A and B are shown apart, each in its own frame.
Chain A
Amino acid sequence: GAVVSQHPSRVICKSGTSVKIECRSLDFQATTMFWYRQFPKKSLMLMATSNEGSKATYEQGVEKDKFLINHASLTLSTLTVTSAHPEDSSFYICSASLAGVVGTQYFGPGTRLLVL
């Protein structure tokens, strides 16, 4: 149980295009989903926290107009990297919290984005 999927697993795009990454909780309802970015050999950096049906809370320094987050249902959150640039190339990971269970996150497999 508690499986989180991400799609796509890998994406290459041209500079200036937008890329959407989906995060789904497959067998549970997730009231809260988290989006992380990870640079090579570095730890996870929280970008934003999204709660179903409300606006995402972004961490300091993360541009909300650049990284659009939508959490329209209890099983799906999306991260859209708008007008992507090479510096946006990174590994993006989502996690989901089980509704009603404090202190637990289940992680997706991650999406590797390369912007040319």
Chain B
Amino acid sequence: KNEVEQSPQNLTAQEGEFITINCSYSVGISALHWLQQHPGGGIVSLFMLSSGKKKHGRLIATINIQEKHSSLHITASHPRDSAVYICAVSVENYGQNFVFGPGTRLSVLP
């Protein structure tokens, strides 16, 4: 069993739809990260969470530490949101290393 799992693996949505990507983990963490990787390959850090909820524009990330679960929501999705979304965790006492989820490939159709 992977330490970080994501669902769904692939997601196709119509422009304007509300999107949710889920992440669950099985280790103790100091922080959870949501990353975005565009088709060209570059990775952008969207959020770093250790509790509660964060919002940035149309993106919202939540985390439930007790349930070891996080969600990334995209409101009013747009084709430019098409990317791979990766959940990664900083494991307690594991230094700066991340443990990565397998990623969720999102396609938003116009």
Q: Which of chain A's residues has its CB closest to B90's CB?
A: A103
Count of interface residues, chain A, beta-carbon cutoff 8 Å: 23
22 contacts between A and B (CB under 8 A): A32-B95, A34-B97, A43-B86, A43-B101, A43-B102, A46-B97, A49-B95, A49-B96, A91-B41, A93-B41, A102-B90, A102-B96, A103-B31, A103-B48, A104-B48, A104-B96, A105-B45, A105-B96, A107-B35, A109-B41, A110-B41, A110-B42
Closest residue on chain B to residue A97 by CB atoms: B96
Q: Is B101 within 8 A of A109, CB to CB?
A: no
Which residue on B lies nearest to A30, using beta carbons? Answer: B96
| Residue B100 interfacial (CB < 8 Å) | yes
Q: Is the interface of A mostly helix, strand, loop or mixed?
A: strand
A58 in the interface (beta carbon within 8 A): no
Contact of A103 with B45 in the complex, beta carbons under 8 Å: no
Contacts beyond the supplied A104-B48, A107-B43: 8 A-B pairs with Cβ under 8 Å: A34-B96, A43-B86, A43-B101, A49-B97, A103-B30, A105-B33, A105-B98, A110-B40
